[in-house]
Every structure is written in C-alpha cells, then in structure tokens.
Amino acid sequence: MAATCEISSVFSNYFSAMYTSEDPTLASVPPAAAFGADDLVLALGSPQMPLEGPEKASWSGEQPQLWSKAQVLDWISYQVEKHKYDASTIDLSRCDMDGAALCRCAPEELRLVFGPLGDQLYAQLWDLTSSFPDELSWIMELLEKDSMALQEPLGPGPFDQGSPFAQEMLEDCRQPSPFYPGSFSAGAPSPGSSDVSTTGTGASQSPPASDSGGSDVDLDATDSKPFSGAGFEDCKKGDPKHGKRKRGRPRKLSKESRGCLEGTKSKHAPRGTHLWEFIRDILIHPELNEGLMKWENRQEGVFKFLRSEAVAQLWGQKKKNSSMTYEKLSRAMRYYYKREILERVDGRRLVYKFGKNSSGWQEEEVVGRRN
DNA sequence: TTCAACTTTCCTGATT
DNA sequence: CAATCAGGAAAGTTGA
C-alpha cells in the first residue's frame, strides 16, 4: 500500500504543481535536512555548463523528476552561475532534495529558498520538464506497475481530496488513452490539418503522436502567473512602452538573451499543437484544468474562459513563450473565426464556440476516443 | 533557401 | 478606468 500512497502523492504533487499558486500549501516544502552545505559550495565552485563544450552536465538529458540530489545540485549551481547570482544568500540546507522533490516545489517555495533566482529556477525547471514529451509517462509507469502489483483499487489518498475526476483520471490512465502521454491531442483527428480547408491547404499539421498532444499534459502551475517574477519579466521583454514603435512584431531577442528563458531543449518544437486544439483538450479534460475554462453548452460547443490569463500562461508554457497573455491568445482565437474553427458568441465576454471546422470536442467523439 | 501556414506582437478604437 | 473584443499589419516560427 505504501507504493499506492506514494503514487497517489505523486499525482497529488503533480496536480498541486499545476495549480500551486492557488494553494501553496498543497505542495510540500522540500525537506530541510542535514545536508552538507559544503556540497553545494563545491558544486557552485565548479558549475557545469551543459550547453557549452563537449561535456554534458550530469543532469542534462534526463528528466528533472529523475535527478538525484547530486544532479539537482549540479543544476542549481549551473543556474546560479548562469544568472550570476550570489549563492551566499541561498539557504543551502534546503537544497538537499532530489529531482522529484525539486519538481514538487511551488514557485513561492523556490523563491523562499533561492530568492529572486527562484523564479528563474522555476521557469527553467518547467522548461526542462516540458521538453520531455511524456512528462506524465513516468507517473503512468508507476501507476501501471503499481496496479499490476497490487491489483487493488487505489485507496484514499491525497488525490482523493475532493477531486471528482480522480477516478476517471485513473481509469483513463490504465487505458491506452489517446489523451495521455505520447499522444495527447493526437488522439483527435486534428481538423486543423485535414478538415480545415478554409485557408490554404490545411495540410502538414498535427502529425499523430507529435508534440501536439503535449497540450494538457503540459499543464502546470500557472494560475498565479508563475513567471511573473520581476527578474523573469526583465528577461523576457525590454521596455515596450518607450514611445512609439514600428507596427508589427518586433524581432525576437537574440539567442543569447533568450538563453535566460530556455534551458536544454530541442529547437524544433514540432508543429502540431494548435491553439484551438490546446483549448479543446483542456476542456475535454476537466481533471486537468479545473477552474480554467468551462463548458457553457457542451452540445453546442460553447465554452468560457474562467481564468483567461492562466490559460494564456499555459499556452505560453506550451509554446515556450512566457510572455503570452490573454490578449494575444484571444487575437489568435479571433483568427479562427475566419476559418470557422470558432464561431463568434456576441455579447458575451470570454465566451467562444467551436465552429464546424473544429472537432474532437463533442461528447460522442471524446467517449469514442476513450474506448 | 524559399514558401505557406500559423502564431505572435503591437496597435487603434469600440464596447462592456 | 480596466478588461475585453475586433481586426489590421507585420514579423517570427516551423515543416515541407
């Protein structure tokens, strides 16, 4: 049963990480344990720069959740070095944690331990975890093993706490569901690619099993705008309100400046995740988005943003774009009107409706795909 | 390298 | 007044 509880807590932590900011108490503070501060000092003394040189850092190429304490240290020291942060201000005793514990930390916790660097760490960590296509798969693997070994229903765990979706979620997990790791939104036929023909060919999108699916699985702590830290803000944009600027989208920051936003990850985030699919996936997985959006009329495909900025942040995370806002997201949404992927819902704020060129959101489709 | 599709960014103005 | 909506314009990203 211990394993069961552990897995339940893994889930719990995963979800608390998703919505951390909402309730910071959900995530546990990493153990302040008897840890040799010297270790960190040592590590800090010789930070590994994974992106440079032939030698890779111990942590690079491995999922953060699986990092050992040493790898966590390596990573922290790398970040400290990278951001020229004064390590002496860090509470070293609280750095004694493995990757799993690190991943469970809420932004505020990281801020508590690492000060302003906490936001950077959180962002980087998110980047790293989301760069692995199957970030839930490790949980699923555990689940699979667990259920095989125990052959008994999961007992009441943290996951049980008032989440009406827990059971459904677990059931889903046991099936080769298209919604879960590896093939998330790919489960849907991606009309954006084949059905949508109003503009152009509509070809070449959403290859099955591509990153596209990541959508919901990528959900993470956002509600409270996890990347709103001042330092991060500085990093992501300059000073936009300095007089008039030329119309249109300005050039992006140089690779160097972007370095502060990105950790190790492949450059080519495969195309495939379209905004509307992302939205749809959130909607059809209430267990993953509780409180972000809701159906106003499921039959008609009418939905509403409850926490517009949070959704925008999620989308931004998905696209590795921390400066995404609801305003920008909504602009993209409005472009869908022309293509009839979405339909206007006049007079209602934050309300949209799926159009005839969208699919995969109808209940029958969803149910069909789950079976 | 080029192109098309799609998204992002910024802007102005209107509406809620 | 702030948030949101609308939509033009132009540039960035990505896969083919």
Whether the predicted pLDDT of A216 surpasses 60: no
Whether the predicted pLDDT of A203 surpasses 70: no
pTM of the complete model: 0.45
Integer distance in angstroms from CA A158 to C1' C16? 47
Using the C1' atom of nucleotide B7, identify the protein residue whose alpha carbon is closest: A332
Q: Strand C closer than 7 Å to the CB of A208?
A: no
* Alpha helix stretches (DSSP H) within A186-307: 214-217, 230-236, 255-258, 275-284, 286-289
Average confidence (pLDDT) over A317-329: 86
Integer distance in angstroms from CA A204 to C1' B3? 13
Q: Strand C closer than 7 Å to the CB of A209?
A: no
Query: How far is A332 from A277, CA to CA, in rounded Å?
Result: 12
Share of chain A above pLDDT 90, in %: 3
User: Residue A48: its pLDDT value, please?
Assistant: 39
User: Residue A268: its pLDDT value, please?
Assistant: 33
Query: How far is A319 from A211, CA to CA, in rounded Å?
Result: 11
More confident residue, A199 or A289: A289
User: Residue A273: its pLDDT value, please?
Assistant: 74
Dump the DSSP string for A284-312. H-HHHHTTSEEEEETTTTEEEESSHHHHH
Phi/psi for A89 (5° steps) reads -85, -5
Q: Strand C closer than 7 Å to the CB of A308?
A: yes
Whether the predicted pLDDT of A185 surpasses 70: no
Give residue for tokens 């696209």: A319
Integer distance in angstroms from CA A355 to C1' B14? 25
Mean pLDDT across chain A: 56
pLDDT tens sequence across A80-128: 666 666 666 666 667 677 777 777 777 677 777 777 677 677 767 766 6
pLDDT tens sequence across A280-318: 888 888 776 668 888 988 888 999 998 888 888 888 888
Integer distance in angstroms from CA A248 to C1' C8? 10
pLDDT tens sequence across A253-271: 444 444 443 333 333 333 4
Could you say which DSSP state residue A325 is in?
-
